[in-house]
Amino acid sequence: MPFLETDDGRAYYRHWAALNPRAAVIFLHGFGEHTGLYHRYGFALNAAGVDLWAVDQFGHGLTPGERGDFTTLEASIGLADRLAELAEAERPGTPLVAQGHSFGAVATLWKLLANPAPYRAAVVSGAPLVPVPGLVDVDSTFEIAPSQLSADPFYLDAIENDPLAFVDADGGPWRVSWTGAGTPSARPCPPWRCPRSRCTAATIPSRRWVRCGPTPSRSSHCRSSRSTVAGTTSSTT
């Protein structure tokens, strides 16, 4: 099995390879997920001429660690950085697109805010970008209802029956990852300018700069997002 070797430990990854890719997506999943839930997405991207590289984050899937414990935001960013290096080595010069869902989306955004290289565009979904009261208590456990994650029956079946997926865990590790110094809950969501990618068979990637920060009329943009990708509707996890 393929594993990334990082300073934070080993992490399992998958690569869905297109025949002649026009772009490569570097993907970070959300809480309770793992890369095996994204086979259909990988095949859909391949059909559009796009590679997908995805990693089981720490505490998830086939990657070692305490169940549900991402460790730190920096560790998640480091996993994506290593994937990007592999993708670049495999196909030098192929445009890279950063993508994340839920906690993976937060890690993706924090990486881009610090330094958008080497990415040409980014896609995020289900990104909670303001302090969440339920994530403050580190001495509790929590469980997410599968129906809150998606309306797609195949995804819901996998979440409930896949032994590597879960919707409940000790809340402590997740909340430490979420509320530590420098992480999303430590400060308000700032205004920023971020690249937005429309992944379609006709244009991959198309690069557009849009204003993504909170405004009096659009504060919800910073609170949560909802995205439909490859037939699966996802919301904040």
Ranking 2-11, 21-30, 87-96 by mean pLDDT, the lowest is 2-11
- Model pLDDT, residue 175: 52
Whether the per-residue pLDDT at 162 is higher than 80: the answer is yes
Q: Which two tokens stand for residue 76?
A: 């998640």
HSE, CB side, 13 Å, CA atoms: give it for residue 219.
3
- Model pLDDT, residue 134: 55
Side chain identity at 230, as an amino acid letter? Answer: A
Model pTM above 0.75: no
Degrees (nearest 5) of the Cα angle 178, 184, 186?
Answer: 90
Whether the per-residue pLDDT at 77 is higher than 90: the answer is yes
User: Residue holding tokens 């909670």?
Assistant: 128
- Give 196-209 pLDDT, tens digit per residue: 444 333 333 333 33
Helix residue ranges, H only, 123-207: 153-161, 171-179
Whether the per-residue pLDDT at 193 is higher than 60: the answer is no
Rg (CA), the chain: 17
Q: Which two tokens stand for residue 176?
A: 């430490």
